Amino acid sequence: MPTSKDVAQAAGVAQSTVSYVLSGKRPISEKTRKKVEAAIEELTYQPNAGARALAGRRTRVIGLVIPFIPELEMASLMEFVSVIASTARQFDHDILLVTEDEGAAGLRRVVGQQICDGLILMQVEDEDERLPVARTLNVPVLLIGIPRDPSGLVCIDADFEVAGDQCVRDLAAAGHSVISIIEWQPAVVNRHVNYVDRFMRGADGAAETLGVAVQHFPGGADVAIISESVDKALAATQGIPAFIAPDRTIQDILRRALAARGLTPGVDVSVIGSASPTLAELQPVPLSTIDLRPKEVSRRAVKIICDLLEAENHGPHESLELVPTVITHRSSTLRPPHGS
């Protein structure tokens, strides 16, 4: 394998210059930097992570603290992981997955052992036990999610409150006076994961403003639970029913439950769900969706934490960024009457 000495010889510079180009610790002329980068590419040189960590006190690794619990839709969660990992590589960082088994103690361990330079925390709860520790760590910490008290923290997430508002306003504009929300799975709701409450707050607020009714019904992966929720929603609805299903895990069950009752989305009932464009188009009736922008949230999360790392200022940071959500109309929702 090529070494930094080989790179230096190929570029016609001192070996220390190669180190400075890689670490950014000293200013290097644009001409020299390009020569070194060309030599690195030609030789396919890969700097030794351990040596770089010793030299620059940086591992160039970001810890991603993520819960792996059965009730979460892992395909949706892995969409975040995939984009975070690929974006981190664009910034010359790697990702280390840290499970939540150790809780707050796990944060202290990976930081104390200098395994990573910073942390991204996912599935943030309203009163998250990790946050008091996160506020004291001497490395940048970013939350994908917003706790009840975000002071002293760097947070980013989709604007779930606006998403709930948008869904209700869209269905109200299509003429629905009663809108039923099939909620996230009980295990997610009971964890008080922050985005659930924000979505519901936005939906309920829009309903009050517009003078329409919003009903909440349990979700889950159990066919019987969804079927019961659908029956209760239909019994309490006058006119054409409308459903919002923000949890991807229930959408196939909901579609089958409606079909079993002779209801076709976009004809007899409106349905707004959450799915990738590809999956939404593959539904028997293409699904209108509220796009919660997981890819954009993931990309922005990595950009923010890498900016903090490059600033080399590990003091307290505080910021909150909400990524706008958007509804994409397909065939599963009725559209407003002409001229509305």
Residue 335 is assigned to a structural domain of this protein:
no
Are 180 and 222 within one domain? Answer: yes
What is the per-residue pLDDT for 100? 62
Six-digit token pair at 160? 């779930």
Residue 221 falls inside a structural domain: yes
Q: Is residue 71 part of a domain?
A: yes
Whether residue 283 sits in one domain with residue 172: yes
Pairing outcome for strands 178-182 and 154-158: unpaired
Q: Output the domain CATH number for residue 17.
A: 1.10.260.40
Question: Are residue 136 and residue 168 in the same domain, yes or no?
Answer: no
pLDDT in 10s for each residue of the chain, 340 residues: 678 888 899 999 998 888 888 766 677 888 898 898 888 888 877 665 545 544 456 788 999 998 766 656 666 778 899 999 999 999 989 999 887 665 666 677 777 667 889 999 998 989 988 888 888 888 899 999 999 999 999 999 999 999 999 999 999 999 999 999 999 888 788 888 889 999 999 999 999 999 999 999 999 888 999 999 999 999 999 899 999 999 988 888 999 999 999 999 999 999 999 988 998 999 999 999 999 999 999 999 999 999 998 886 555 578 999 999 999 999 999 987 654 4
pLDDT for res 317: 77
pLDDT at residue 338, as a whole number: 57
How many domains in the chain?
A: 3
Residue 74 lies in a domain: yes
Please indicate, yes or no, whether residues 153 and 166 belong to a single structural domain of this protein: no
Same structural domain for residues 151 and 194? no
Q: Do 164 and 287 have their domain in common?
A: yes
Classify residue 238: in a domain, yes or no. yes
Range of the domain at 244: 160-292
**Looking at the structure, do residues 181 and 273 belong to the same domain, yes or no?**
yes
Residues 190 and 230 both lie in one domain: yes
Same-domain status, 287 and 298 = no
The set of residues, in sequence order, having a beta carbon less than 8 Å from that of 66 and lying 6+ positions away, is 77, 80, 81, 97, 98, 99, 100, 122, 123
Same domain, yes or no: 142 and 170: no
Residue 240 lies in a domain: yes
Residue 140 shares a structural domain with residue 82: yes
**CATH classification at residue 257:** 3.40.50.2300
**Is 332 domain-assigned?**
no
Flag whether 54 is in a domain: no
Same domain for 284 and 165, yes or no, is yes
**Whole-structure pTM value:** 0.79
Closest to 183 measured CA to CA, from 147, 214, 220, 211:
220
